[in-house]
């Protein structure tokens, strides 16, 4: 567990070191609240000519270097930061106009109860005990060659006021765009393991291929939104001839298992809670229980 006093000292020393590395630029520390109320400490370096810049989170560096701000640690942080900078100013005026950004809106699923504070400032729609929230993705924005990775921002109430649109319209567009462009995939667990590591090919035989466990996701980030695609789930239920448990592996994907082939629901939920606690990063936890989906009647929420 991170010692807050030591970590605060670490961040202060990193800030001072980067101020020396970047004379004439402003080096800021900021607390950023992420999914599930997780707070990260980020550092950014800005100049007068920059209107978009990355925020680099310091927690991983604190763990890697045991709180020591050595020359090697500062050098690595600067290299990582430089690799994420754009290196040139960009015009972001188009972000002020709703008709110009609406095509880039997408939606994701988060846990409602764990994010009630954030949702006070974010438009959302309930989905069982989860919340659908809209975000803007810079993917396919024309800035792909400049903005590295999955650059996004969550839509907030201030954006609605700037765009002069209501929450329902933004949510409709975000959900509609996602359903149209983010096509889900359902693959057997053995296929996924082979893709992740080809060396598994010789270790995984027909027994694993017949394992009744499937990974459902969408391209890119926030793949657990795939559990909203009820037509695809209905087709899958019909294909395997069974209702299914939808197990929230993380915000990135869900696991589908035929109801008739698994342990009791109470044991599944115990397993989910244990894995969430020990294996999944807190910021990526979606839910601590499974959901039942019936090919004839849709979701039956379980607790």
Q: Identify the band that residue 212 occupies on the pLDDT scale cut at 50, 70 and 90.
A: confident
pLDDT at 251: 95
In contact, 148 and 84? CB cutoff 8 Å: yes
**Helix (H) or strand (E) segment spanning residue 187:** strand 185-188
pLDDT at 303: 57
Residue 25 CA from chain centroid, whole number = 31
pLDDT at 125: 97
Q: What is the mean pLDDT of the chain?
A: 85
CB contact burial 235-268 (16+ within 10 A = b; e otherwise): ebbeebebbbbbbbbbbbbbbbbbeeebeeeeeb
**pLDDT for residue 145 is more than 60:** no
- Residues 34-51 have a mean pLDDT of 85
Q: Which residue has the higher pLDDT, 261 or 170?
A: 170
Residue 23 backbone phi and psi in degrees, to 5: -65, 140
pLDDT, tens only, 107-122: 999 999 999 999 999 9
pLDDT at 122: 97
Please state the pTM of the whole predicted model: 0.83
pLDDT at 83: 77
Determine the length of the chain. 303
pLDDT, tens only, 182-205: 999 999 877 766 666 665 555 555
Q: Which residue has the higher pLDDT, 200 or 174?
A: 174
pLDDT at 93: 75
pLDDT at 92: 66
**pLDDT for residue 242 is more than 50:** yes
DSSP 285: -
pLDDT at 49: 67
Q: Identify the band that residue 295 occupies on the pLDDT scale cut at 50, 70 and 90.
A: confident
In contact, 252 and 222? CB cutoff 8 Å: yes
Q: Identify the band that residue 104 occupies on the pLDDT scale cut at 50, 70 and 90.
A: very high
For CA atoms 121, 127, 130, 136, the dihedral sign is: negative
């Amino acid at each position: 567990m991170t010692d807050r006093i030591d970590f605060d000292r670490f961040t202060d020393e990193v800030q001072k070191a980067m101020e020396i590395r970047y004379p004439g630029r402003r080096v800021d520390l900021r607390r950023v609240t992420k999914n599930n109320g997780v707070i990260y400490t980020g550092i950014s370096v800005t100049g007068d000519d920059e209107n978009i810049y990355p925020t680099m989170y310091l927690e991983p560096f604190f763990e890697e270097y045991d709180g020591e701000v050595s020359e090697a640690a500062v050098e690595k942080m600067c290299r990582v930061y430089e690799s994420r900078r754009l290196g040139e100013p960009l015009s972001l005026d188009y972000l002020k106009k709703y008709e110009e950004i609406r095509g880039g809106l997408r939606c994701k699923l988060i846990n409602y109860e764990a994010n009630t504070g954030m949702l006070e400032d974010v438009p959302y729609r309930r989905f069982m005990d989860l919340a659908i929230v809209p975000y803007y993705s810079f993917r396919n924005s024309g800035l792909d060659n400049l903005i590295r990775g999955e650059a996004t921002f969550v839509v907030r109430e201030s954006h609605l006021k700037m765009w002069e649109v209501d929450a329902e319209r933004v949510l409709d567009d975000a959900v509609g765009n996602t359903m149209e462009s983010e096509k889900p995939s359902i693959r057997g667990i053995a296929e996924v393991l082979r893709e992740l590591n080809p060396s598994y090919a010789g270790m995984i035989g027909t027994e694993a291929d017949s394992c009744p466990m499937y990974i459902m996701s969408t391209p890119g980030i926030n793949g657990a939104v795939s559990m909203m695609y009820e037509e695809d789930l209905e087709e899958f239920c019909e294909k395997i001839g069974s209702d299914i448990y939808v197990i929230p592996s993380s915000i990135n994907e869900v696991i589908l298992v035929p109801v008739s082939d698994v342990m009791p629901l109470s044991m599944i939920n115990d397993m989910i809670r244990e894995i969430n606690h020990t294996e999944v990063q807190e910021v990526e936890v979606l839910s601590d229980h499974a959901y039942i989906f019936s090919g004839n009647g849709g979701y039956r929420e379980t607790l």
